[in-house]
Amino acid sequence: MKPTLFTLAATLLMTTTLSATAAGLPAPPDAAKKPFTVKAPHGAQRGDEYYWLRDDKRKNPEMLAYLNAENAYVDAYMKPLKPVEDALYGEIVGRIKQDDSSVPYRERGYWYYSRFETGQDYPIHARRKGSMEAAEEILLDVNLMAKDKGYFSVGDYAVTQDNQILAWADDAVGRRQYTVRFKNLATGEVYPDVIEGVSPNLVWADDNKTLFYVENDPETLLTVRVKKHVLGTPATSDIVVYEEKDDSFYMGIDRSRDDAYICISVHSTVSSEFRCAPAADPKEFFVLAPRERDVEYDADHLGGRWVIRTNAPGADGKPAPNFKLVTAADGARSRKEWQDWVAHRDDVFIEGFELFDGFTAIAERSNALERLRLLDRDGKEEFVKADEPAFSMGLSTNSEHDTEWLRYTYTSMTTPATTYELNTRTGERKLLKRQPVIGYDPEQYVTERFWATARDGVKIPVSLVYKKGFEKNGRAAMLQYAYGSYGSSTDPGFNNAVVSLLDRGMVYAIAHIRGGQELGRKWYDDGKLFRKKNTFTDFVDVTEQLVEAGYAAPDRVAAYGGSAGGLLMGAIANMAPDRYRAILSQVPFVDVVTTMLDPSIPLTTNEYDEWGNPEKKDYYDYMLSYSPYDNLKAQDYPAMFVGTGLWDSQVQYWEPAKYVARLRDLDTGKQPVLFRTNMEAGHGGKSGRFRRFREQAEMYAFMLDQLQVGGPAAR
C-alpha cells in the first residue's frame, strides 16, 4: 500500500485537469440554509440546515427553483463536452439492434414474446397461437401507451387461464404506484374497470374473472394488502384477502409451478411466510409454515408435494445459512413436516430452483460464481458447463414443467446475454439467442478474475474487462463499480455502454464486496448492520490493489455506484477522497440516519434488519459514524457527478439534494460537483430503452474529461 502515491498523483493532476472546460462559468447554485433539528427518541439531536429541501408533494417553488438551477449549472458545465456526450450516446445506441425481439416462450398453447421496432423506445408485447408462424396478436403496444408522456412503464401483465382477458399494471410517473386496467383480447375492448395504487404483481384465479393484486400504502408505498377484484364490479368494493400488519415485511403473490395454488408470500430481511389457496377456489388461504424470526423460506408445488428452499435448522438443530432444499407433503402445515432433500453446504449458496416433472434445476453460487445443478428424479446430478473464468449463469423463462428441456441464460463481461436450451436427457444444447451487439467483436476483449486482500485478511473477488493488448503498466484509466447491500450479488455480465470505455483504453472492474451474496450468506452478513463498514473498506482496498497491480494509474480511477451503491460512493468519498479522481453517484442513499428515523418514508421499516433501527442508540451511533451526509467535512473531495429523479420513491430526491448542498459548503478542493435531477423520473431514471443512455452518456462524458481519456482507439 502506498498512500503517498495517490496523494502525489492527485496533486499533479489537479494542475493539468481538463476541467478547464468549466472556466468562465458562474458560481454553482447555493442553497439557502434554514435551521432545523432532527431528533431521535433517545434524545440525540442533529442540525440539518438543508432539511427544508424535502417536499413530499414535489411542489415547493423554492425547492424546485434550486433543482432547476442545479440542472442549468450542469447544462452550462457540460456544454463544451456535448460532442463527447453525443459520440458516446451514438456509440451505445449504435450497438443496439433496433428491430429486436425476446426469445418466445410457450404457455397454454400460445407463444409469448416482446419485440422492438426501429426508432421506438418501448416494447410491443405480443403472442401467436400454436406456433410462431401463426398470426400475431398484439397484447400491448407500449409506444402508443407512452406517447406524449415523460415517463411510462408497464410493470406486469397477466392473461386469464382461458387466454381471453389481459390485465396489466402501468405507471406514468415513476413513483412505482401502478394502475391496473383490463382488455378483452378477442375484441380489443378495454374494460372500464380501473384499480389504482397497486404493486405490479397480478394473478388470475381459475374462474377467469377474479384478479388478485397487492395494494400499496399511499404514503409509505409498502405492500400492505392482497385484494381480489371481480371484473365488472367497482374497485371500491374489492375484498381484502390478506392484510399484513407488520410493516417490516414485503408482500408478493404468484401461482405455483403446477398452477394448483395461488400463494401470498411475505418476507422481511430475516423472516418469511407463505399462505396459499387452491387456484380453482381461492377462498381460504392456509399457512404453509408460520413465520419465525431468522427463518426464511420460499416454496413451490409440483407432483403432489412442496419443495422448499430454507435456512431453517433441521431435526439435528444445525443451522443452514447458505440454504438447503426440503420437501413436504401436500397437506403439510408446519416445519415439523419438512424432510431434508438437498443438504446445506458451507461452500455452496443455494439461490433458487425450478421444478420439472423429471428433474430439478438448482441455481447456486460457489467460489463467487453462479452455476446450475441438475438433479434427476433418480438422484443423479450434473452441472451446466461454462467456459470463462468470470461469468454469470442463471435460470431463464421455463414456463412449462412437462419437458426435458431447460432454458438458461449465460453472459460474461465479454459475452453478450445468451439464452440456451439444454436437453437434460441427451445433453443436446441449442443456442436460442445471443443478444446482437452491432459492430462488437468479443475476441477483441479480455475478462479475468482478480482476488484482492481486505485489510482484515479476507479475499475479495474482482471481475475485470479490458481491450486485448492492454498492458498493466500503471498508466490506464479505470472505472470501478460495486453495490454491496441487501445480499444482492453483482454478477459479471455484458455491459453495452462499458464497451465505449474499453475502446478508449479504460479498464472496467466490478468489486464483489461484502454486503452481497457472491460468497454465500456470510458474505452478506459481514456487510450489514454493525459490520456495514466492511463494504466501504473492501471497495477502497480493491482500488489500492488494482492500482498496485498496474491495472490503473493512481490519478485516473473513477468509482461508480447507485442507490445503496450511492451510499458506498458517499462513504468512500469521505474515507478515502485521494484514491479517486471522479465519483459517479446515481440516486444515492446518503442521508442514512434521518431517513431511517422516519417510518413514513418508503422502505424504512422494511430495512431495520439491513441497516439497523436508529431509534436504538447503539444502531444510531454506528449508522451516524458512516452516514455520508453526516460525515462530510472540510477536505478536498474528488470531482462528482450526482444524479437523482424527482419522483424517486426508493431514495427520495432530497437526500442527494441535501448532500450536494452541504458538500459544496465543506469541500476545500477545486473539483467540480454536478447535480442532475430528472424532473420526470423515479428511481430507475428515464423510461425507454434509448433515453436512459442519454443520461449515462452525459455522466460518462464528465468522467472521461476528469480522467483525461480521449476518443476510442482504432478497431
> What is the rounded distance in angstroms from the CA atom of residue 224 to the CA atom of residue 218?
10
Is 527 found in the same domain as 506?
A: yes
Confidence of residue 10 (pLDDT cuts 50, 70, 90): very low
Does residue 169 lie within any of the structural domains?
A: no
Does residue 214 lie within any of the structural domains?
A: no
Is 700 found in the same domain as 632?
A: yes
Question: Which of 80, 115, 144 is a domain's end point?
Answer: 144
Exposure class string for 272-282: b at 16+ Cβ within 10 A, else e: bbbbbbbbeeb
Amino acid identity, position 149: K
Residue 315 has a pLDDT of 80
Domain that holds residue 670: 3-40+64-94+440-707
At 639 the three-state DSSP class reads strand
What's the predicted TM-score (pTM) here? 0.90
Does residue 156 lie within any of the structural domains?
A: no
Does residue 480 lie within any of the structural domains?
A: yes
* 190 strand-pairing partners: 183
> What is the rounded distance in angstroms from the CA atom of residue 487 to the CA atom of residue 484?
7
Does residue 554 lie within any of the structural domains?
A: yes
Candidates 563, 585, 649, 687; catalytic one: 563
Residue 323 has a pLDDT of 98
> Cβ(70)–Cβ(29) under 8 Å?
yes
> Cβ(369)–Cβ(390) under 8 Å?
yes
Give the max Cα distance, the chain.
75
CB atoms within 10 A of CB 43: 7
Q: Pick the residue with more confidence: 22 or 219?
A: 219
Is 673 found in the same domain as 605?
A: yes
Residue range 258-275, pLDDT digits in tens? 999 999 999 998 999 999
Is 106 found in the same domain as 23?
A: no
Is 119 found in the same domain as 69?
A: no
Is 110 found in the same domain as 70?
A: no
Does residue 318 lie within any of the structural domains?
A: no
Is 104 found in the same domain as 28?
A: no
Is 147 exposed, middle or buried (CB count within 10 Å of its CB: 0-12, 13-18, 19+)? exposed
First to last CA, the chain: 36
Active site residue 648: yes
Q: What is the CATH number of the domain that holds 528?
A: 3.40.50.1820
> What is the rounded distance in angstroms from the CA atom of residue 255 to the CA atom of residue 280?
11
Q: Pick the residue with more confidence: 219 or 371?
A: 371
Decide if pLDDT at 338 tops 70.
Answer: yes
Is 541 found in the same domain as 581?
A: yes
Rg (CA), the chain: 26
CB atoms within 10 A of CB 304: 9
Is 487 found in the same domain as 545?
A: yes
Active site residue 683: yes
Decide if pLDDT at 11 tops 90.
Answer: no
Is 137 exposed, middle or buried (CB count within 10 Å of its CB: 0-12, 13-18, 19+)? middle
Residues in the chain: 715
Task: Please count the structural domains in the chain.
Answer: 2
Is 140 found in the same domain as 23?
A: no
Residue range 55-66, pLDDT digits in tens? 999 999 999 999
Is 113 found in the same domain as 20?
A: no
Decide if pLDDT at 715 tops 50.
Answer: no
> What is the rounded distance in angstroms from the CA atom of residue 325 to the CA atom of residue 518?
19
Residue 706 has a pLDDT of 98
Candidates 648, 649, 667, 705; catalytic one: 648
Decide if pLDDT at 2 tops 80.
Answer: no
Is 581 found in the same domain as 533?
A: yes
Confidence of residue 8 (pLDDT cuts 50, 70, 90): very low
Residue 151 has a pLDDT of 85
Candidates 48, 489, 683, 705; catalytic one: 683
